Amino acid sequence: MKIALFPGSFDPITIGHHDILQRAKVMFDRIYVSIGKNSTKHCMFTLDERMHFLHLCFDNDPQIIISQYAGLTVDFCAEIQAQFILRGLRSDADFEYEKNIAQINKEIAPSIETIFMVCNPAYSAISSTIVKDIKRNGGNISRYIPKALNGII
Ligand code: ADP
């Protein structure tokens, strides 16, 4: 069985994340969407809120499992028996950042492959950071988040 981990902060999940997941489903039998708890990022939404948003988006999808983890991503992969780490790429900057992490992960855990998916051009400007900025300033974020979250966030 091909199992992938899609790790992130998901603060909050956007249509960019959602699109990567939908497209990745043809490649994997099961995808864990997991919030890494030890990120140094300052989050707008609590861990519980972010988990709740993910559940609302994916609870009716048997291929996707929502979870959270602390510690190294590759250690969590071992725990859930994921052979793949899935990441989305929006830009050169994403690639430079992600390449280093993927190479270090490869050194620590050689059997795990990081798979990059290039984002849909329509979503390349969308980030959780921009969604939060719009929200903080009273704007409408509905077009940037999955439909299941409209009226919730
Ligand atoms: P992290 O805190 O690990 O950067 P994020 O929640 O910001 O986590 O992102 C998780 C993954 O989703 C990363 O691989 C990121 O590059 C990817 N991603 C973020 N926004 C988009 C988007 N608009 N389109 C495609 N992939 C995206």
Q: Which residues contact 57 (CB under 8 A, 6 or more apart)?
A: 13, 18, 146, 148, 149
What are the start-end ranges of the H helices in the chain?
15-24, 47-58, 73-80, 92-108, 128-136
Distance CA 111, CA 2 (A): 13
Give the CATH number for residue 50: 3.40.50.620
pLDDT at 41 (0 to 100): 84
Distance CA 147, CA 152 (A): 10
Q: What is the mean pLDDT of the chain?
A: 97
The total of structural domains in the chain comes to 1
123 lines ligand 1 (CB under 6 A): yes
- Residue 152 main-chain phi, psi, to 5 deg: -95, -45
Model pTM? 0.96
For the segment 62-118, what is each residue's pLDDT rounded down to a tens digit? Answer: 999 999 999 999 999 999 999 999 999 999 999 999 999 999 999 999 999 999 999
Hey, which residues are catalytic here? Answer: 17, 41, 90, 128
pLDDT at 39 over 80: no
Range of the domain at 114: 3-149
Q: Which residue's alpha carbon is at the smallest distance from atom 18 of ligand 1?
A: 88
pLDDT at 123 over 90: yes
